[in-house]
Structure 1
Amino acid sequence: MILFDVYPLFDITIEKGKGCHVWDDKGEEYLDLYGGHAVISIGHAHPHYVEAISNQVGKLGFYSNSVQNPLQKQLAKRLGEVCGYDNYQLFLINSGAEANENALKLASFHNGRTRVLSLEKAFHGRTSLAVEATNNPKIIAPINANGHVTYLPINDLEAWERELAKGDVCAVIIECIQGVGGIRMVTKEFYAGLRALCTKYNTVFICDEIQCGYGRSGKFFAHQWLMDSTADAPDMITVAKGICNGFPMGGVLISPKFAPVYGQLGTTFGGNHLACAGAIAVLDVMEQEHLVENAEKVGNHIVSRLKELQKEYPVITDVRGCGLMIGIELAVPYKEPRTRLVKEQHCFTGCAGTNVIRLLPPLCLTMQEADDFIERFKAVL
């Protein structure tokens, strides 16, 4: 049997990692400004995380959700305290797509509707309804194209109000900082207006924080940059990626307005003992090492340095982002500079669209490592 070949791959085999660095099978070291696609939140092979995972798998890696799992309750309590949503409920699953799928399903149970509004250039996952809410026809199979979703422009509140006023919208789902969409942020005015309209028209308001959340923006959630009060909170918040530093896990934070019903949602692997132990360790490290604050500080420094480079190199047409989620828009396709960053400068980055280099490093990135990246990027420019 061979692998189903759907990924274009660099000819590099990564064997180990530490902090914001990884090493290939030839012993070559790379600076990691990609974080495994924003998944590595506290750094590769953090000793506290390794110890927590190792201890738990030595006792019990998995048992079903038919029995008590105190680790789930411990994680829910800790997460609520850290993120500021201690009155919300937590449903644990395995991935970001699954988180969005369950959030949209719960919204439809709540108001009985089937239509969804999503942003142009949105990316919400590759499962049934999540992929339909993703604005990329190349990855929506005919079986998924069921006409549930209307895509609307970012920050155009009038366009959204016209659709919401029809009274048939089940849910609005947005990334407050679009990842695949090129690091574009929702404005405070748009966010507040959309939140109010969802309340007015009995539409469920979902913030997809799978990539932009979990401390990456410099606040625990990106939408918290846009809120004036707790009245502006989303009805549901979806998380994954950084929640368990590489172990597959996702979650839905659900407001008190939703009452749970036995059997309404379910999962086999979600919230397993090993994942919960890892996720608790991630929160330990984030708090002890002040990684949310570090993301804001180091992210601001990188943006400032990139804007200085922009004055020197007009091939940089825009620099935007928040915390350690940064987009560098180029006047040329990203492919050559990104490839040269990997092959010549031994530095991993992400990408978006055709012209945007995307930075998604671990939240423990230091000022020295940030400056190191700038020098490597400058060499490519």
Structure 2
Amino acid sequence: MSVFNVYPLYEVTPVSAKGIYVYDKNNTEYLDLYGGHAVISIGHSHPKYVEAITNQVAKLGFYSNAVQNPLQEELAAKIESLSGCKDYALFLCNSGAEANENALKLASFKTNKSRVIAFKNGFHGRTSAAVAVTDNAAIIAPINAQQEVTILELNDIKSVQRELEKGDVCAVIVEFIQGVGGLDQANAAFFEQLDLLCKANNTLFIADEVQSGYGRSGKFFAFQYYKLTPDIISIAKGMGNGFPIGGILIHPSIEAKFGMLGTTFGGNHLACVAGLSVLTVIEDDHLIENVNEMSAYFIKIANTIPQIKKTKGRGLMLGLEFDFEVANLRKKLIYEHHIFTGGASNKKVLRILPPLNIDKEHIHQFFDALVAALDN
């Protein structure tokens, strides 16, 4: 049997990793500035993370959500404490796509409406409703296209108001920093008016923090740069440092009912201890403070390189925009300089999504390699 061939692959085979480095089958060391799509938040093989998962799997790796699991309550309390999102409820699942799928379903339940507003260049996942609100026709199958979705331009608040006033919109979903789309952001006035319009029109405001959450933006959540209150916050990626886990934070105005959401694997014991260990390291190692310090240092150096036309994003969710497509540059960085970086739907943007414990030495290693690659 073959593997279904849907991924274009680099000719690199990682077999181990530690901290911010990955090692291939030939023991070649790679600087990881992409973290497997922003998943590696506290560094590869962090000892507290490894210990937590090892100890838990030796006791109980899994049982279903038909029984009590105090680890879920512990994780919910820890998220509330570090994020400042008081009185939200936590529903756990396995991925960012599932998180957004459940967020959209919950919004439809709550409002008894079905249409969704999303935004150009947004990416929210590949499951049925999540992919329908993603601005990429190439990955939307006919069965997904049955969803009622209106995709608008960021910063066009008049169009949003016009659509919301039609009265059939259950949710507005938005990334506060677009990930796959290329690190674009709307302005503060747009986000804050969007929140007010949702509340005035019985529409739930979903903050997609799948990539930007857990400190990556320089705050625990990227929406916290603005004066607004999401009804639902979707989380995943850096939440488990590689262990599959996702979830939604649900505003107390939304009432739970038995059976409205469900999952087999979501919130399992191993996932919860992975999530708890990540939060412990973020707190104990002051990683959000490090994000802001390293971000400022990275941007300062980036601004000295003339080929970089714009630095986009916040925190350690950054994009370097050039006046040429970066596919060949990424290949040079990985094959000649042994550095992982990311691309975006904006083909001129190089995405930088390192573990949150990156330091200045790693940043210098990257820019030395970048300058060399640009000069060749």
| CA positional deviation for 1:147 | 4.4
* SS across alignment from 1:263: coil
| CA positional deviation for 1:186 | 2.2
Q: Given the alignment of the two structures, is residue 367 of structure 1 paired with residue 341 of structure 2, yes or no?
A: no
Q: Given the alignment of the two structures, is residue 304 of structure 1 paired with residue 315 of structure 2, yes or no?
A: no
Q: Which residue number in structure 1 is paired with residue 36 of structure 2?
A: 36
> CA separation in 2, counterparts of 1:380 and 1:160?
43
Q: Which residue number in structure 1 is paired with residue 323 of structure 2?
A: 331
Q: Which residue number in structure 1 is paired with residue 350 of structure 2?
A: 357
* SS across alignment from 1:237: strand
Residues 88 and 255, structure 1, Cα contact 8 Å, conserved in 2:
yes
| CA positional deviation for 1:86 | 2.7
| CA positional deviation for 1:331 | 1.2
Residues 89 and 253, structure 1, Cα contact 8 Å, conserved in 2:
yes
* SS across alignment from 2:309: strand
1:165-211 alpha-carbon deviations (Å, 9 max, x no partner): 11111100000000011001121111110000001111000000001
> CA separation in 2, counterparts of 1:19 and 1:186?
33
Structural mapping, 1:212-227, within 5 Å:
212-227=212-227
Q: Which residue number in structure 1 is paired with residue 244 of structure 2?
A: 248
In the alignment of these two chains, the number of paired residues is 373
| CA positional deviation for 1:28 | 0.5
Q: Given the alignment of the two structures, is residue 345 of structure 1 paired with residue 365 of structure 2, yes or no?
A: no
Q: Which residue number in structure 2 is paired with residue 190 of structure 1?
A: 190
1:255-292 alpha-carbon deviations (Å, 9 max, x no partner): 00001000110000000000001100000000000111
> CA separation in 1, counterparts of 2:222 and 2:278?
18
Structural mapping, 1:46-195, within 5 Å:
46-195=46-195
Q: Which residue number in structure 2 is paired with residue 277 of structure 1?
A: 273
1:207-233 alpha-carbon deviations (Å, 9 max, x no partner): 000011111000000010122xxxx21
> CA separation in 1, counterparts of 2:171 and 2:189?
19
* SS across alignment from 1:134: coil
> CA separation in 1, counterparts of 2:138 and 2:214?
29
Residues 14 and 23, structure 2, Cα contact 8 Å, conserved in 1:
yes
> CA separation in 2, counterparts of 1:117 and 1:253?
20
TM-score by length of 1: 0.97
Q: Given the alignment of the two structures, is residue 379 of structure 1 paired with residue 361 of structure 2, yes or no?
A: no
Residues 129 and 147, structure 2, Cα contact 8 Å, conserved in 1:
no
* SS across alignment from 1:214: coil
Residues 79 and 86, structure 1, Cα contact 8 Å, conserved in 2:
no
**Residue segments in structure 1 that go unaligned for 5+ positions in a row:** none
**Residue segments in structure 2 that go unaligned for 5+ positions in a row:** none
> CA separation in 2, counterparts of 1:211 and 1:46?
20
Moved more, 275-284 or 296-305: 296-305
Residues 176 and 222, structure 1, Cα contact 8 Å, conserved in 2:
yes
Could you list the runs of 4 or more consecutive aligned residues of structure 1 that deviate by over 4 angstroms after TM superposition? Answer: none
Q: Which residue number in structure 2 is paired with residue 19 of structure 1?
A: 19
> CA separation in 2, counterparts of 1:17 and 1:159?
47
Residues 20 and 365, structure 1, Cα contact 8 Å, conserved in 2:
yes
| CA positional deviation for 1:293 | 1.2
Residues 19 and 43, structure 1, Cα contact 8 Å, conserved in 2:
yes
Q: Given the alignment of the two structures, is residue 234 of structure 1 paired with residue 230 of structure 2, yes or no?
A: yes
